[in-house]
Amino acid sequence: MTDPAPQPTYDYDLFVIGAGSGGVRASRIAAGYGARVAVAEEYRVGGTCVIRGCVPKKLLVYGSHFAEELQDAANYGWSVENLKFDWATLRDAVLRDVDRLNAAYTNTLDNNKVEHFLERATIAGPHTVKLASGREITAKVILVATGGWPVMPTFEGAEHAISSNEVFHLEALPKRVVISGAGYIAMEFAGIFNALGCQVTVVNRSETILRGYDASLRDRLLQITMARGIQYRFNCGIERIEKQADGTLLTHLKGQSDPLPADVVLVATGRRPKTDGLGLENAGIVPGSHGEIVVNDLAQTACPSIYAVGDVTNRIQLTPVAIREGHAFADRVFGGKDTRVAYDCVPSAVFSQPPIASVGLTEAQAREKLGNAVKIFTSDFRPMKNIFGHRPERGLYKLVVDAQSDKVLGVHLIGPEAPEVLQGAAIAVKAGLTKADFDATVALHPSMAEELVLMR
C-alpha cells in the first residue's frame, strides 16, 4: 500500500489582491475561520468608496447643502451675516476623514491578524502572486478584489481633464466646471459644484441622464437641476480640450461651434474593472468584453483556485454588494457555509440635489415583463422642508405594483432625504409585501415617508 501523496504547502491559505470593501471583508471573515490570510494594496487601505468615492463625495454633498440651508435660515428666524465659503477648509476636512478611515481599515486587518503588503500584486500562477518588490508568495486560494477605475478619453487635450479620483484634491474652487457624462458620478458632482456657486455645464453623448433609473425620476431631476442653473449640452461629446495661456480651458464639443470655457473639466463617463496588467493570463483567465473577471455564482473564475468579488467582476458596482460578495466567499470557502448573494431588490441612490433612491423594477422594466398587468401609484408633493425656502421644487414618490398579485415590485423616490426613506421601503420590497400591506400601515406624520402609505 502506497502512502498518499503529500499535500502541497502554501505561504497562506488566502491571498487577497485589493484592500477595498470587498477584499477587507473577505480577509476579516476568512481569518475569523482560522485561515492564514494576507492582502496586498498598492495605494491605500479602504478602496474606492472610502478613499476616492462615495464617502468623501457624500461629505462634499453635506458641505454643499449648507449653501441652501443658510439661505433659508433667515426664514426660520436666524440672522446669519457675513457668509463666506472656503473650499480648502472643506477639502482638507474631507481628506482628514479619509486618513481616519484608512487607519481604521488598516486596524481592522491588524486586529484580525491579516498580514498586509502596501504594494502592487499580480497573478503569477494559479497559486502564486508576485509583489512589486519581486517577491513571490504562494496561497491555496487567491481572491481578486481590485475594484474599478475611471474610464478616461483619448481625445486631444484629454490630459487637461480630471477624473473623480482627482476632484477631491482641487487647489481652489473652480468658477466654471464642465462635466462629461450624466451618470450618477456626474450628476452628484454637478449638484455639489452648482450648490457651491460654480457655473456647471453637463455634456452628454445622449439626451438621457441617469440611464437605468425610472424615467419619472430622471425627468423630475432634469427639471429641478435646470431651474437651479445647471446647463446641459445633449447629444454631443468633447472633441478636444485646449489649454489657454492663463491656465483656463476651452472645451470644444463635437458638432458645435461655440467652445465652453472652463476652469475644470471633469470626465465622469463610467468606470471599468481594474484588471490591466493583473496577470490573469498566467492562470488561464480570459477577461470579459469590458475587461471584467468572469465568475460563476460562487465567485469562482475559470481557474478553480482564483476567485473575484466586487466591481472587478462588473456585476453590480455598489460597495454593499462587494461587501456581501466578500463575506459570502469567505463563508463558503473557509466557513463551510453555502452563503449566496441575492442580486434582486438591491437598493441604490444618487446623491444628486435633490437625491434619488430606487429599489426593484422601474415602470418600464415592469411593463416589459408584465405588459399591462402593472399598476402605478404616485405622490407628487411639495416637501415641507421647501416651504420656507421659497423653492417650487416638488418631490415625487412612485410605487410599481403587480396588478394581479398586488405585490410591490419597485419603489422610486426623488426629494430631500430620499435615500434615508428608501432603506426601509427596500426591506418591504425584498420581503414581497403588497400594496395592501403598505396601505394598512399607519402614516408617520408629518413626514415625507408617510407618502409611501398614503397613495391611493
| Grid cell digits, residue 190 | 454637478
> Residue 387 — very low, low, confident or very high, per pLDDT cuts 50/70/90?
confident
The residue among 2 and 298 whose pLDDT is bigger is: 298
Q: In 336-386, which ranges are continuous DSSP H helix?
A: 363-370
Q: Which residue is associated with the grid cell 485646449?
A: 242
> Which of 42-51, 92-101, 320-329, 407-416 has the weakest average pLDDT?
42-51
> Residue 65 — very low, low, confident or very high, per pLDDT cuts 50/70/90?
very high
Radius of gyration of the chain (CA): 24
> Residue 1 — very low, low, confident or very high, per pLDDT cuts 50/70/90?
very low
Mean pLDDT of 392-413: 97
Confidence (pLDDT) at 2: 56
Mean pLDDT of 122-126: 98
Annotated catalytic residue, options 169, 290, 412, 445: 445
User: Is 3's pLDDT higher than 60?
Assistant: no
Instruction: Pick the closest to residue 102 from 38, 55, 171 (CA basis).
Output: 55
Q: What percent of the chain has pLDDT over 70?
A: 98
User: Is 253's pLDDT higher than 90?
Assistant: yes
Q: Could you give the angle at which helices 363-370 and 215-227 cross, rounded to 10 degrees?
A: 160
Q: What percent of the chain has pLDDT over 90?
A: 90
Distances (CA, A) of 379 to 262, 344, 394, 447, 456: 39, 25, 10, 13, 9
Confidence (pLDDT) at 136: 97
| Grid cell digits, residue 236 | 454631443
- The alpha carbon of 229 is separated from its chain's Cα centroid by a whole number of angstroms, namely 25
Mean pLDDT of 382-390: 85
**Who's near 126: CB < 8 A, 6+ residues apart?**
142, 283, 284, 303, 304, 305, 306
Distances (CA, A) of 326 to 181, 297, 349: 30, 13, 22
Distances (CA, A) of 234 to 89, 150, 207, 400: 34, 21, 5, 29
Cβ neighbours of 195 (radius 10 Å):
20
> Residue 203 — very low, low, confident or very high, per pLDDT cuts 50/70/90?
very high
Mean pLDDT of 198-214: 96
Per-residue model confidence as pLDDT tens digits over 265-313: 999 999 999 999 999 999 999 999 999 999 999 999 999 999 999 999 9
Mean pLDDT of 54-80: 92
Average pLDDT, the chain: 95
User: Is 190's pLDDT higher than 80?
Assistant: yes
The residue among 7 and 216 whose pLDDT is bigger is: 216
Per-residue model confidence as pLDDT tens digits over 334-356: 999 999 999 999 999 999 999 99
- Categorise residue 188: left if φ over 0, alpha if ψ from -120 to 50, beta otherwise: alpha
Task: Give me the DSSP letters along 23-75.
Answer: HHHHHHHHHHTT--EEEE-SS-TTHHHHHHSHHHHHHHHHHHHHHHHHHHHGG
Domains and CATH numbers, the chain: 12-150+272-335 (3.50.50.60), 158-268 (3.50.50.60), 354-453 (3.30.390.30)
Confidence (pLDDT) at 431: 96
User: Is 391's pLDDT higher than 80?
Assistant: no
Mean pLDDT of 406-432: 97
Confidence (pLDDT) at 6: 63
Is residue 127 flagged as an active site residue? no
Confidence (pLDDT) at 130: 98
